[in-house]
Chain A
Amino acid sequence: MAKEPLFGRTIEELGETARRFGQAPFVARQLAEWLYRKRVDSFERMANLSKTFRASLAEEHVVGLAPPERTTISSDGTKKYLFAAGPGRFVEAAFIPEERRATLCLSTQVGCKMGCLFCMTGKQGFQGQLSAGEILNQLRSLPESDRITNIVYMGMGEPLDNLANVLSSIEVLTADWGFALSPRRITVSTIGIIPAMKVFLERTDCHLAVSLHSPFEDERRTLMPVENLYPLAEVLGVLRESAIARRRRVSFEYIMFGGLNDTPRHAKELVRVLDGIRCRVNLIHFHPIPGTPLHGSSDETMLGFERRLKESGIITTIRKSRGQDIMAACGLLSTKALTSRPQADY
């Protein structure tokens, strides 16, 4: 049997591990300290644990770190890292350096089940969930790990379709025994999986970014099949009702498709549907993917759209296009190698 990784376990889970080996409860904290704060990569080096415990751990477990398999560097400094997630499966993480901060864009699933029309990851279908350890490994094993100031869960997969592992990874990231990162530096994106979103809002203080892409139900449905089950109106209803703490930021991601969702009518309706929600809107350039019937809006149209929203009092930004030459825009991450998924048998 393959050895179970310890990296990614919460303090409670490390406590269970310690107990199973007959160790005192405080050993859980020691393990966490080594894994997340001192960042060692072998049990050998966990010097304050007894030799016999270290040997027993090594018999059944591995630390569970894995360096990236491949790196692509964009002319603007954005780097895309490919991490293995089981045999023949890969996920990507993007390192996005800016003047005052450095953001890491993480993946949460291998592929995705949600089938959004504009997304490269969606084309892969679903190949598996990432464990909390595999999610966090994208941070820990990143060469620039120490430089990261912000984390966005906007890579491959729908984070809230892997809720338990995403919550565990956030616990490790934010706990004092973990990476001790402020939840204000973490943003989780979702297409609006309502039950999971409610749990996320209840259990974390992280920022939330909802993929909106069209304020009109019928149109959104053709772009995002999830609209059938969790209509935007209900998603917004939840956000309106839940007591969003003042310090939590709710943003809406809006990829701009030429002639489709970029008209003044859309801007007007967007303002209407967002009424009563303290939020910001991020307008995003669309990077066409192979075979897509969609194309991006012009810069001029995007500026006009931005102006309309701003005039209506909505904080709006046009997201900078980063890593376009390596297709590293968050949420559209993918490489040619990744899209050649094994043919599904249906």
Chain B
Amino acid sequence: MAKRRATSGALLGSSDETGLRETRVTENIEIAAGVFLLKYPRERDFLPGQVVGITVDRRIAPRYYSISSGKDEEFVDLLYDVVPGGELTPLLAALRGGDLLFVSPPSGAFLDGDEEGWWIATGTGIAPFVSMAKSGLGGRKHLVHGSRLASGLYYRKYFAAVLKERYVSCCTKEAGDGIFSGRLTAWLGQQEDLPTSGRFLLCGSAEMVVDVRDLLIARGVPFGNISSEIYF
């Protein structure tokens, strides 16, 4: 194997210039194998869909995470996967309540209004939509969430209750009650009445985003109606 240095470029700059603030972890719960929900007190306002950069040590460059809590909630929630061999996420996974955390100001422009539209996510890419829904933007939204395993359908109960039949979950490796069996692109491909107006927000892996975007464009959705957030 060639030696590949494992740093991606999506890191924030040094902690001084990114305005990192110290805070304390409220809790850090493993909600599925290798997936955690990290909570800390909200000290700054944010817009649903925005991200924060966090780190556990000023010497380690912060990584971005979408906020998954509502804009008026007392705590900020972040939903993250542990990347095996990753620099930060294994350290995040070891955090306990009361531990020190460094947090950047919220940023990002993956935003939405309350008009009719579609949210499409894979894995932890559901996070911004949780924030949007909890901030009152879900009233006229459809949500399609894809995961390999049913345990990866985070917030399933919440969305089933809030969005009802406008919530669709898709699993590629497991079958389950009310779960579409297959990729979310397969589900989307089967929808004959997919609208071509309204906004489509896509969030998650690059592969999902490019596949869904191609599919929507082929179905006549103007590309200007599609907004994407990629977890690079």
The chain A residues found within 8 Å of chain B, CB to CB, are 2, 4-5, 8-9, 64, 111-115, 117, 122-123, 125-126, 128-134, 158, 160-165, 168, 193-196, 198, 217, 219, 221-222, 225-229, 231, 291, 293-294, 341, 344-346
CA of A117 to CA of B205, assembled, Å: 15
A229 to B107, Cβ gap below 8 A?
Answer: yes
B51 touches A (CB below 8 Å): yes
Least Cβ–Cβ distance between B100 and chain A, in angstroms: 22
CA distance A289 to B147 in the complex (A): 29
By a CB distance below 8 angstroms, the chain B residues around A162 are 8-9
Among residues of A, the one whose C-beta sits closest to the C-beta of B8 is A161
Contact A115 B3 (CB under 8 A): no
CA distance A283 to B76 in the complex (A): 44
Contact between A160 and B5, CB atoms less than 8 A apart = no
B172 touches A131 (CB 8 A): no
State A163–B4 Cα separation when bound (angstroms).
Answer: 11
Q: Smallest CB-CB separation from A116: which chain B residue? A: B210
Contact B213 A117 (CB under 8 A): yes
- Contact A293/B206 with A194-B13, A345-B172 known, Cβ cut-off 8 Å: no
Instruction: Name which of B6, B110, B232 has the most chain A CB atoms within 10 A of its CB.
Output: B232
Number of A-B contacts (CB under 8 A): 139
Contact of B9 among A122, A158, A228, A293 (CB under 8 A): A158
CB distance from A288 to the nearest CB of B (A): 13
Q: Given contacts A131-B2, A131-B3, A195-B9, is CB(A293)–CB(B217) below 8 Å?
A: yes
Inter-chain contact B206/A113, CB cutoff 8 Å: yes
- Contact at A344–B207, with CB atoms within 8 Å? yes
Chain B's nearest CB lies how many Å from the CB of A158?
Answer: 7
**B residues adjacent to A (C-beta < 8 A):** 1-13, 51, 61, 64, 107-110, 122-123, 146-148, 172-173, 183-184, 204-211, 213-214, 217-218, 222-224, 226-230, 232
CB atoms of B224 and A222 under 8 A apart:
yes
Residues of B within 8 A of A125 (CB): 205-207, 210
Contacts of A122 in B (CB 8 A): 206, 210
Q: A112 — which chain B residues lie within 8 A by C-beta?
A: 206
CA distance A123 to B229 in the complex (A): 15
| Set of chain A residues within 8 Å of B209, measured between Cβ atoms | 115, 225
A291 touches B122 (CB 8 A): no
Choose one: A193, A196, A229, A346; the contact of B208 (CB below 8 Å): A346
Do B51 and A164 have beta carbons less than 8 Å apart? no
* Identity of the chain B residue whose Cβ is nearest the Cβ of A197 in the assembled complex: B9
Q: In whole Å, how far is B70's beta carbon from the nearest beta carbon of chain A?
A: 20
Kindly list chain B residues whose C-beta atoms are within 8 Å of the C-beta of A64. Answer: 2
A251 CB, min distance to chain B CBs, angstroms: 19
Q: How far is the CB of A15 from chain B (nearest CB, A)?
A: 15
Q: Provided the pairs A163-B9, A222-B224 are in contact, do residues A228 and B110 lie with their beta carbons within 8 angstroms?
A: yes
Q: Is the CB of A196 within 8 A of B3?
A: no
Whether A229 lies near B51 (C-beta < 8 A) is yes
Q: Which residues of B contact A193 (CB under 8 A)?
A: 9-10
* B4/A165 in contact, CB under 8 A: yes
Q: Measured between C-beta atoms, what is the minimum distance from A324 to chain B in Å? A: 23
| Additional pairs, 14, CB under 8 Å, beyond known A293-B217, A346-B183 | A5-B3, A123-B210, A161-B8, A164-B5, A164-B7, A195-B12, A196-B11, A225-B227, A229-B108, A291-B214, A294-B223, A344-B205, A346-B172, A346-B207
